[in-house]
Amino acid sequence: MKHKYLTAVSFFISALSATAQTPGGVDGPTVWSRDSASVRVSAGAGLTYIGVSKVYGEKEQAIWSLGSGKAITRIQTTERAANLGDGTFMNYAKDTLSEMRLYSYTTSSNMGNGQTLHIGRNGNAKLPVKNLDGRTIEYTVFDRRLSDTERCRVESYLALKYGVSLRSSYLNSRSEVIWNGYTNKAYSHRIAGLISDKASALHKTRARSCEEDGFLTVSMSRPLQDGESILWGDDNGRLSFHSSRAYGKWLGRRWMDAATRIPNPGVDIAADSRQLRQIRPLSEGENYYLAVDPTGTGSFPVKALSYHKADRVTADSIVFRDVPLGSHSVFTLRAARDMFTTIEVVQPKEKSGSTGTLSVRVTGGIAPYKMTLQREHMSVFNRTTSDSIQSADGLMEGKYLLTTTDHVGNKSENEFQLSKTGITEIPSMNPSDGNSDFFANVSASPNPTVNGYVSVQIELSETAPLDMALYTAGGALVSRRTYLPDTYFSTEVYLPQTGVYLLTLQSGSRERTFKLIRK
């Protein structure tokens, strides 16, 4: 068996040499494989392991172990890396991780007479570590310590191939920085990318993060040229829309892209609408738009931003086709009617006599547009124009109402204030911003149910814990669940027999009860 394995490895290495393709373009891997076999490590040169594994379950599991016979000298698990020879450990942070994970380890320590690396297995039964419950998707082993740059190139190759996020920068096989982990730190979640990297045999024209709430799938219809790439990550904002009387209705999450050798990449973006944490994301008459800020600031200035109306909306996806992203753009979703306005407010300074500025962009509708601006019910300006971008300066402190009406009667309003406090939103007298109902939206479907299962979704008007209890009509408790503070909850309840049931939602002193029926 040993001779057969070494022959297979030699053939694999020969094939790679013939095509000059290596992980990250880094020369000399001892093995580059998807086969969870054992790898003989050369004596005295050190070791580097980098691989992607799919991990199931919570218990500690072996990613690899190193040793000879039953004597294990080193091991990397789902929770730590350990040098058993000198008793040193490095425990990982207790983060919530996706099933797909990247593991990396390197050492320059002398390996003596050579040892065996067992992939996905604990070579010492006395250690309280399970074999990998899952599988090693792809890994590479070098019989030396890689430099920081080499290691980053290999990690970047595997991370992009499988949609796993790194906390560092991403490099291509030319050692070019294609995602700067420091400057893009605010968008370090769910990083994925399209790339053509010939030296790595990596060609992706469609990608999505493998992590929870990946939400976006990005693709390009044309093949990329060698060295071209476009990566993106998000700011971990909420996948729900927030309505503002000043700015309109925007998704809580934003993304940033970084393009290399593609000046204006045109991409197709598909959002998974099932992941939106709202029961009714769109109000009547609203559409989905993708807003793109090419300045990369995330301020969405009215003179620079662009909107792209969804080309297709289905039960599970929102599709935007041929969207031109800049080399460093911020983008997000907006919900709006066929005609809407976007405002940009420059607040007055604290010095005496300072005034503010308003800029307005009209999207959609039919020109000409009639714009009226009122301050405390007094007219500031009243103009009719075919220009979709307007501005007004010299505005004093106070509360304003901008009303825009197009040629066929479509109307859009923006309420805002100019204040030396720098706050544009007009403070509300109601803490729930006009929605006095704490249980903002509740959906139970199907109701009545035939098989007993009812899907329940709850939206709260503010972040709060939730207790959900199901009772029979006679008051007997059937089931109870408690949830940590959030604004959105989605679950399934089971009605065990035919009849009428009462579902009670309680958060602090606030309570709501609904009737559920099983036929």
Contact criterion met (CB below 8 Å) for 423 and 398: no
Same domain, 313 and 387: no
For residue 409 the two structure tokens come to 């009667």
Last residue of a domain, one of 146, 167, 200: 146
Does 381 lie in the same domain as 326? no
19 and 80 in a single domain? The answer is yes
The domain that contains 490 carries what CATH number?
A: 2.60.40.3880
The set of residues, in sequence order, having a beta carbon less than 8 Å from that of 139 and lying 6+ positions away, is 31, 32, 33, 34, 49, 50, 51, 52, 53, 119
Query: Using an 8 Å Cβ cutoff, are 167 and 32 in contact?
Result: no
Tell whether pTM > 0.75: yes
82 falls within a domain: yes
For the segment 369-428, what is each residue's pLDDT rounded down to a tens digit? 999 999 988 999 999 999 999 999 999 999 999 999 999 999 999 999 998 888 898 876
Residues of the chain with pLDDT under 70: 1-20, 69-70, 112, 428-436
Total domains in the chain come to 4
- pLDDT for the residue numbered 73: 86
Q: What CA–CA distances, in Å, run from 389 to 297, 349, 356, 385?
A: 20, 24, 17, 9
Same domain as 78, residue 206: no
Task: Please indicate, yes or no, whether residues 113 and 191 belong to a single structural domain of this protein.
Answer: no
* Assigned domain for 161 exists: no
* pLDDT, position 182: 95
Are 264 and 321 contained in the same domain?
yes
Report how far residue 51's alpha carbon sits from residue 39's, in angstroms, rounded to the nearest whole number. Answer: 14
- pLDDT number for residue 207: 97
pLDDT score, position 229:
97
Q: What is the DSSP letter of 186?
A: G
Q: Which domain holds residue 499?
A: 439-518
Cβ–Cβ under 8 Å, residues 399 and 415: yes
Domain contains 432 = no
Report residue 147 CA to chain centroid gap.
Answer: 30
Choosing from 125, 146, 167, the residue where a domain stops is: 146
Backbone angles phi, psi at 175, to 5 degrees: 70, 20
Pair 311, 223 in one domain = yes
Whether residue 115 is found in the same domain as residue 81? yes
SS (H, E, C) 378-402: EEEEEEEECCCEEEEEEECCEEEEE
Q: Which helix (H) or strand (E) holds 3?
A: helix 2-19
What the block records as the tokens of 86 is 């000198």
Q: What is the pLDDT of residue 255?
A: 98
Residues 186 and 323 in one domain: yes
Q: How far is Cα of residue 414 from the mean position of the Cα atoms in its chain? A: 30
How much is the pLDDT for 78? 93
Which element (helix H / strand E) includes 116? strand 115-119
Same domain, 313 and 238: yes
Residues 6 or more apart whose Cβ sits within 8 Å of residue 292 = 305, 306, 307, 308, 323, 324, 325, 326, 329, 330, 331
In a shared domain, residues 505 and 387: no
Structure tokens at 163: 């949609």
Based on its alpha-carbon atoms, the radius of gyration of the chain, rounded to whole angstroms, reads 29
